[in-house]
């Protein structure tokens, strides 16, 4: 069972204030799937793990927090291009969140947000967007370094070497 609470939040980028809801607790019984999707109710509510400001478009797991230069990130060309892109709303919100996290040097969190965008695309059957999200997750988890040629076959080799791993937040850490 999940417990949801209504609360007032202030956008970290522009200061706009609005009422929203957040999880106080959430049931996560069961095992994750092979693509690391959470089980049960946590899977069904993955869309609630990102918020987007209706005023400026800032997106984040916790809209009231983020990098110190959040406003500059939102005003950047890359952010504005993605904000205006013809993409499904939740998919775009996760990619925007990923971009904010990447610019804030939270590469693990950025990778997880990009992966969540892939899950959203999977759920609507859009394989091309799903692949794009997974590529974004892979590059962000590795701190923006080139990962050309990386595949599931080389995952075992990467995890046994000194290569960095994706160690961002998890789906069950939402306050």
Instruction: Provide the domain limits for residue 69.
Output: 3-150
Mean pLDDT of 142-168: 40
User: How far are the Cα atoms of 45, 94, 103 from residue 34, in angstroms, in the given order?
Assistant: 18, 20, 28
Residue 10 lies in a domain: yes
Q: Determine the Cα–Cα distance for residues 117 and 61; give it in Å rounded to an integer.
A: 13
Q: Determine the Cα–Cα distance for residues 85 and 21; give it in Å rounded to an integer.
A: 26
The yes-or-no verdict on residue 42 having pLDDT over 70 is no
Residue 164 lies in a domain: no
Residue 108 lies in a domain: yes
Domain count, the chain: 1
The yes-or-no verdict on residue 104 having pLDDT over 50 is yes
pLDDT category of residue 13 using cuts at 50, 70 and 90: very high
Residue 25 lies in a domain: yes
pLDDT category of residue 35 using cuts at 50, 70 and 90: low
Residue 112 lies in a domain: yes
Residue 172 lies in a domain: no
Residue 66 lies in a domain: yes
User: How far are the Cα atoms of 15, 55, 71 from residue 11, in angstroms, in the given order?
Assistant: 5, 9, 10
Residue 105 lies in a domain: yes
The yes-or-no verdict on residue 122 having pLDDT over 90 is no
Q: Determine the Cα–Cα distance for residues 12 and 47; give it in Å rounded to an integer.
A: 20
Of residues 99, 169, 88, the one with CA closest to residue 130: 88
By CB atoms closer than 10 A (0-12, 13-18, 19+), residue 86 is exposed
């Amino acid at each position: 069972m999940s417990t949801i609470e209504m609360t007032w939040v202030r956008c970290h980028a522009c200061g706009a204030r609005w009422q929203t809801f957040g999880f106080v607790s959430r049931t996560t019984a069961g095992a994750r799937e092979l693509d690391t999707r959470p089980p049960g109710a946590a899977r069904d509510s993955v869309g609630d793990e990102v918020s987007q400001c209706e005023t400026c478009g800032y997106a984040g797991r916790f809209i009231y927090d983020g990098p110190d230069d959040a406003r500059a990130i939102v005003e950047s060309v890359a952010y504005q291009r993605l904000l205006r892109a013809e993409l499904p709303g939740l998919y775009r919100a996760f990619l925007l969140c990923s971009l904010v996290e990447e610019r804030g040097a939270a590469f693990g969190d950025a990778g997880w947000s990009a992966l969540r965008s892939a899950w959203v695309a999977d759920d609507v059957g859009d394989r091309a967007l799903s692949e794009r999200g997974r590529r974004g997750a892979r590059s962000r988890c590795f701190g923006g370094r080139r990962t050309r040629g990386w595949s599931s076959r080389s995952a075992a080799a990467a995890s046994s070497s000194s290569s960095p791993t994706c160690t961002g937040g998890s789906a069950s850490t939402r306050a």
